[in-house]
Chain A
Amino acid sequence: MTSAMRAAPIARYLLVWAALIALLALSCASAFVPLGWFNGALNMGIALFKAALVAMFFMHLRSASMLFRLCAASALFALALLFGLSGSDYATRIIRPAAWAPPSVSVGPGPVHQSGGCAVTTPVPMSRTSFKPVKAMQSLSSSSSKVSAQATPSAPFAASP
C-alpha cells in the first residue's frame, strides 16, 4: 500500500460506482433484446468488466505490489484449470465415452449405437481415412479382435468390455 493510494480522491470511487451501475443497467436491458448466443457473451463480458473495475479500483489491485496481483492471478489460473480439465471431460463424453459414464441427457450429435457394451455415438459422416491413427492404435492394443472389423467404420474407438 503506497501513500499515493491514501490520497485517492472520493470522486474516483464515485465514478467507478457510476460505471458499475451503468453496466448493470446495460446488462439488464440487453437481456430483453433477442440476440441469441450474444446475450450470454455480452452479459459475461460485462460481468468480467465490472469485476475488473471492482478489483482494480475498490480492491486497489492496480496499485498493489506484485505479490497480491500474483495471488489473484494464481487463483484465476487454478479456476481455469478446473474449468478446462473438468469441462473437457464433460464436453467429450459424447465423443469418447468413459466406461461408466451415463449417456448425456439431451445434447448429442447423432443417434447412439450400442457397440460392444458401450454407448457410442455416431458423429456426422466422416471418411474412413480420418480414423487411420485410431486403427493403428487398435492394432497395437492387446484387446480382442472383435474391436476393429465389426465396429462401424465411422465410429470412434469402441472399447471392448
Chain B
Amino acid sequence: MSDSVGELSEQFENAEQQRESATFGIWVFIATELMFFGPLFLGYLYGRVHFGHAFALASGRTHIWLGTLNTAVLLTSSLSMALAARAAQAGERKALARLLLTTAALGVLFLGVKGWEYYQEWQEALVPGRRFAFAAPFAAGAQYFFYLYYLLTGVHALHLLIGIGCVILLRRRAGRGEYGSAYSTPVEIAGLYWHFVDIVWIFLYPLIYLLERYR
C-alpha cells in the first residue's frame, strides 16, 4: 500500500496499470493460497472414501447450528466488504469507514463462535490425542476427521485473523480520508482476499457439518 494518496509508483505508466498490477498480484497470491488448502481437502477426500461411516459419525458430533450461524456471519461479512469496496470507489468516505468496521466486527464474531466451538469440543473429548474418546470401531476414522477439522478450520481462522488485521488497518487509513474514487485499490484487493477466505469456508461448511445429518 503506497504511503500517499494516489501516488503513481515510477515503474508504472499510469494509474490504471498500477491498479491492474496490484489486482493481478493478489489474484496470484490467492492462487497460491488455493494450493495451500487444496492438499488438505484431498486428505479429507481420502478419509471420506476410506472411513466413510466414521466420518459421518464424527460429523454428527460437530455443532451444526454454530457452524451454520458462522457461515451466515461470514457471508454477511463478504457483503459488507464488497459494499465497502464499492463505497471506496464511489468516494463515500463515511459509508466506507462504517462498512470496514462492520466487516471486521463480523470477522471477530466468527472467530469468537469458532473458539466457543473448539472449547465445547475439548470438553466433549473430541480433540485428537490422549484425551480423544469415540465409539470403538470408528475411533481411528473419527480421529482422522477431527484432525482434519482442527487443521482446516484452524488454518482458515488464521487466514481470517490476518484479514481482520488488514481490514482494521484499512479502517484507520479510511478514517484519515486516504481512500476515494481516485485511489481505492487497497480496499479492493483486501476485499478479494476476504472473499477468498469466505469461499474456503463455503466449501468447508458442508464437508464438516453436513455429513449424513439425517441419522
Contact = CB atoms under 8 A, between A and B. Distances in A.
A65 B20 contact: yes
A54 B78 CA distance: 8
Interface string A29-44: 0011110000110011
* A interface: dominant SS: helix
Contacts of B94: none
A55 interface: yes
B34 A24 contact: no
Contacts of A58: 78-79, 81-82, 191, 195, 198
Interface residues of A, number: 53
Interface stretch (B21-29, B117-125, B127-135, B158-166): B21-29
Contacts of A104: 50
* B interface: dominant SS: helix
Given A55-B199, A65-B20, A71 B50 contact: no
A1 B188 contact: yes
A86 interface: yes
B75 A21 contact: yes
Interface residues of B, number: 53
Interface of B: 19-20, 23-24, 27-28, 30-31, 34-35, 38-39, 42, 45-46, 49-52, 64, 68, 71-72, 75-76, 78-79, 81-83, 86, 89-90, 140-141, 181, 188, 191-192, 195-196, 198-199, 202-203, 205-206, 209-214
Interface of A: 1, 5-8, 10, 13-14, 16-17, 20-21, 24, 27-28, 31-34, 39-40, 43-44, 46-47, 50-51, 54-55, 57-59, 64-65, 67-68, 71-72, 74-76, 78-79, 82-83, 86-87, 90-91, 104-107
